[in-house]
């Protein structure tokens, strides 16, 4: 496990704009890194249990890129503000992780940002939006960015089978696109 500075070196520059009609749903997520008690943490959300899709799953703040969003970065920052009230001005975008294409037709662009305010300053500002988020999780980045902490499992959906990754944090199981993004980042360190 490298120090934080090594994490930033593994990131990509801003992606080139992709055509909006490439047959996928363009989306972006923010991977917010926050220093808490001298340790880097990644903020994750537990999606609201009443949602029709992906209810209760652990995810990054994010969603579809709107026509009004200037870029993937703008969409990720907007979504983080909507979902957890994270002020965009407190996020220093450090870089990007490779796009992830899902079997459900999404292209997810992960935007990695360091929260510039101290935990004690930003924590009172963060509030999950009840319409979208049941809870926020602050998970040590060292745990999420260690490959040995991941396990593989086989998923089946609509007659298709594939191998996926998962990692646990307390009683929470992180899997799907979120685990794939984090596992991919861990593999670059």
Tens place of pLDDT for every residue, the chain, 189 residues?
445 567 788 888 887 766 666 778 999 999 999 999 889 999 999 877 666 666 568 999 999 999 899 999 999 999 999 999 999 999 999 999 999 998 788 899 999 999 999 999 999 999 999 998 999 999 999 999 999 999 988 877 778 777 889 999 988 999 899 999 999 999 888
CA distances from 45 to 56, 96, 148, 163 (A): 9, 19, 23, 24
DSSP secondary structure of 113-132 = EEE-S-HHHHGGG----TTT
The pLDDT value recorded for residue 87 is 97
What is the pTM (predicted TM-score) of this model?
0.90
- Domains present along the chain, CATH in parentheses: 4-140 (3.90.79.10)
Is the dihedral angle over the CA atoms 137, 12, 167, 40 positive or is it negative? negative
């Amino acid at each position: 496990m490298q120090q934080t500075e090594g994490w930033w070196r593994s990131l990509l520059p801003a992606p080139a704009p992709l055509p909006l009609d490439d047959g996928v749903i363009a989306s972006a997520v923010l991977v917010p890194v926050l220093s808490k008690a001298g340790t880097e943490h990644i903020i994750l959300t537990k999606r609201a249990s009443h949602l029709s899709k992906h209810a209760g799953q652990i995810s990054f703040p994010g969603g579809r890129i709107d026509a009004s969003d200037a870029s993937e970065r703008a969409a990720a920052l907007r979504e983080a503000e909507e979902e957890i009230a994270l002020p965009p001005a407190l996020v220093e975008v450090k870089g990007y992780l490779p796009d992830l294409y899902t079997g459900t037709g999404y292209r997810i662009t992960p935007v990695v940002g360091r929260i510039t305010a101290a935990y004690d300053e930003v924590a009172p500002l963060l509030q999950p939006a009840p319409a979208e988020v049941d809870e926020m999780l602050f998970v040590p980045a060292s745990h999420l960015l260690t490959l040995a902490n991941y396990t593989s499992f086989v998923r089946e959906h609509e007659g298709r089978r594939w191998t996926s990754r998962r990692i646990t944090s307390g009683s929470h199981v992180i899997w799907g696109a979120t685990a794939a993004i984090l596992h991919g980042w861990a593999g670059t360190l």
